[in-house]
Structure 1
Amino acid sequence: MFNLNDIKKMTEAALMSALFVVGTIFFVSTGLGYTFYLDFIVPIFFVVICLKCDFKYSILAGVTSLVITGLVLGNIGTAIWASQSVILGIICGMLLQNDTTIMDDLVYGSILSVLLMVFVDIYASKLIGYSFMQEFKGYIKFLNNNEVANIMYYLLIAMFPFGMMFSVYYLGLIFSNKLKILKNNSKRKYNIIKNFRTYSRFIGCSKKVFYGCSIYLLIFQIFKFINIEINNTYLITISTCVGYLCAYFVVRDGYNVIQNYILSKYQKVSYARYMSLGTILILLLAFKVAIILIILFNTVLDKRIDIRVRQSYILDKLMN
């Protein structure tokens, strides 16, 4: 049985779904849909629906809207592109509602975005003959070094969905605050971003996410070391891009934790600067060694003083 609150949410989702259909038909018909509408307005719109009407009604609104839009326009390419934006918006909306840290949200969101964009690319290449992965390959043809070309190729694929997800996450949060629909976890995350300069030192991943990324990198390197081959191009793309994203978050978060420890223990900014220079140097000369050292230092700090829990406690104290 539906209660009054469910009926209200369903009605709001239906109204916003109708608005989405009308807006999509208008923008696509005028040619503006392929500029900023499908990339940004659609996912932000579904962030708002998710925060306002909850997950199940967001899914219902998304499926209904896409079916109607596809039937009216008769354009498979637009439907595929719009479906990617709708799913991305719902992902960001769900992450904003979860009781997780902002960095955890970025890790989960970026990995899910890579999976989403690769799967969309599979269907798009088969149905309409367009592939953004093939387009990225065209960007690196001028590179003569195959190893560098491969790194650039996977970096482009990893950075594109990460950048899109971060933009939608941030803009959706700002826009939802303007509409005054933020509450609980989403409101807390907005306050953290609003006062980012004050809280930036203490914004980090949870233990589960940091060591999950670390374990993934370990398994990824073991597979490469023992020459386990993956024949599927898309699986190679997903596993490699996720590896690059995990490496970024491990370095960023692990470095931040070590820096906080040095600043709190020695109370000298110069020590932190020396550590920064040393870290950059090792990253440039021996990237894998640097990651191993960062993970080891973080493991010691978490075992001895539970530094991530302390950072979270300090952040909560500053906010209150």
Structure 2
Amino acid sequence: MNNTKKLTTASMMSSLFVVCTIALVSSGIGYTFYLDFIVPVFFTMICLKCDLKYSVLSGVTSLIIIGLILGNLGTAIWATQSVVLGILCGTLLNKDTTIKDDLVYGSIISVLFMVLIDIYASNLIGYSFMKEFQGYIKYFKNKEFANTIYYMFIALYPFGSMFSIYFLALIFAKKLNILSGNSKKKYKIIKNFRNYSRFISCSKNVFYACSLYFIAAQILKFINFNISSVYLKTIFISVKYLCGYFIISDGYTVIQNYIMSKYKKIAYARYLSLLTIISLVLVFNISVLAIIVLNIILDKKISIRLQQVDIVNRLVNQ
């Protein structure tokens, strides 16, 4: 009976999505904000309400209907990306993971999917944004700087999209009263983010996985290992940037929390911030390695990440 109710709900929401998408896209006002944010949030709601298998079924049938009616390959590709991001976000919200873990998983998977969409689009319409940009690199005087900006964009766009969808989905799900279990817990954390932010961290497994990937990527760069495929190179370097960001932001917060709890002096935390910024500018790789090593020491010595997870759980349960 419960499965029948979920299937019926998913079917009704699919019908609503198809009608709204056809109407808005046909009128010309359904692009950008609707496909980028409303569609992913909508499918996150379906995933939270109806579970993963019905969400996937809803997404596949809806996209087929929209593609057949509109006959617009560009819109179909765009809508596919939005649907997948929504289902991914809903799946992560239901998992017993930390919020930062969700953002790590979501951002990396989004990068992979962005590349797959570009490959799919190039096969259908004969145009690849990634390959086209690589062709323009030769016109820049500082090719390394241009490449850095390109890979940062590829890395940060999925991260920004994932964070926005994650946040908006929790807000709307709360309004619709469909939060339960882990998603309800994560809403409470986001709602009280100002109080909980310094204790929100990646799990040990995720932090160490990011660290290993970043170190391996830097070693391959040092030995001039070259990846010929544009797509593989984009994935490899963009994921490295994401891992580097999470290592720095998460690792620094853990070290700062330890200093604050041990010495009880804000001045020490400010000195740490200044030292970290200067060292990252002057000796970036050594600074990241130092953050990784200090985090490993703190995890071995006092299990600081487990302590922070316990603190957040206690605050939420209050």
| TM score, norm. by length of structure 1 | 0.96
- Residues 158, 244 of structure 1: 8 Å contact kept: yes
**Is it true that 1:196 corresponds to 2:188 in the alignment?**
no
- Per mean C-alpha deviation after superposition, the further-off stretch among 222-231 and 273-282 is 222-231
Cα distance in 2, alignment partners of residues 130 and 281 from structure 1: 42
State the Cα distance separating 1:227 from its structure 2 match.
Answer: 3.0
Q: How many residues align?
A: 317
- Residues 131, 230 of structure 2: 8 Å contact kept: no
Instruction: Look up the match of 1:170.
Output: 167
Cα distance in 1, alignment partners of residues 2 and 258 from structure 2: 47
Cα distance in 2, alignment partners of residues 141 and 82 from structure 1: 33
Distance 1:36 1:136, change over 3 A: farther
- Residues 137, 153 of structure 1: 8 Å contact kept: no
Distance 1:109 1:139, change over 3 A: farther
Cα distance in 2, alignment partners of residues 138 and 195 from structure 1: 46
Distance 1:137 1:224, change over 3 A: closer
Instruction: Look up the match of 1:33.
Output: 30
Unmatched 5+ residue regions in structure 2? none
3-state SS, counterpart of residue 159 of structure 2: helix
- Per mean C-alpha deviation after superposition, the further-off stretch among 71-80 and 89-98 is 71-80
Instruction: Look up the match of 1:181.
Output: 178
Instruction: Look up the match of 2:107.
Output: 110
3-state SS, counterpart of residue 313 of structure 1: helix
Instruction: Look up the match of 1:149.
Output: 146
Aligned counterpart for 1:316 among listed residues 294, 313, 318: 313
Deviations 1:93-121 (A, max 9, x none): 00000000000000000000000111001
Amino-acid identity (%): 64
Instruction: Look up the match of 2:247.
Output: 250
CA RMSD of aligned residues (A): 1.6
Cα distance in 1, alignment partners of residues 107 and 144 from structure 2: 24
State the Cα distance separating 1:145 from its structure 2 match.
Answer: 0.8
The code of the aligned residue for 2:98 comes to T
The code of the aligned residue for 1:210 comes to F
Distance 1:141 1:89, change over 3 A: farther
Instruction: Look up the match of 1:298.
Output: 295
Cα distance in 2, alignment partners of residues 293 and 143 from structure 1: 34
Cα distance in 1, alignment partners of residues 158 and 37 from structure 2: 12
3-state SS, counterpart of residue 34 of structure 1: coil
Aligned counterpart for 1:21 among listed residues 12, 15, 18: 18
**Is it true that 1:237 corresponds to 2:237 in the alignment?**
no
State the Cα distance separating 1:219 from its structure 2 match.
Answer: 1.4
Deviations 1:41-81 (A, max 9, x none): 11110000000000000000000000011011111111111
State the Cα distance separating 1:10 from its structure 2 match.
Answer: 0.4
- Residues 133, 157 of structure 1: 8 Å contact kept: no
The code of the aligned residue for 1:279 comes to T
Cα distance in 2, alignment partners of residues 53 and 199 from structure 1: 30
- Per mean C-alpha deviation after superposition, the further-off stretch among 54-63 and 120-129 is 120-129
The code of the aligned residue for 2:198 comes to R
- Per mean C-alpha deviation after superposition, the further-off stretch among 30-39 and 4-13 is 30-39
Distance 1:29 1:135, change over 3 A: farther
Unmatched 5+ residue regions in structure 1? none
State the Cα distance separating 1:133 from its structure 2 match.
Answer: 3.0
Cα distance in 1, alignment partners of residues 201 and 291 from structure 2: 14
State the Cα distance separating 1:225 from its structure 2 match.
Answer: 2.5
Instruction: Look up the match of 2:62.
Output: 65
Cα distance in 2, alignment partners of residues 134 and 235 from structure 1: 12
The code of the aligned residue for 1:115 comes to L
- Residues 136, 157 of structure 1: 8 Å contact kept: no
The code of the aligned residue for 1:212 comes to A
Alignment of 1:125-144 (within 5 A): 125-133=122-130, 143-144=140-141
State the Cα distance separating 1:130 from its structure 2 match.
Answer: 4.3
Cα distance in 1, alignment partners of residues 194 and 137 from structure 2: 37
The code of the aligned residue for 2:86 comes to G
Cα distance in 2, alignment partners of residues 273 and 76 from structure 1: 52
Cα distance in 1, alignment partners of residues 130 and 94 from structure 2: 32
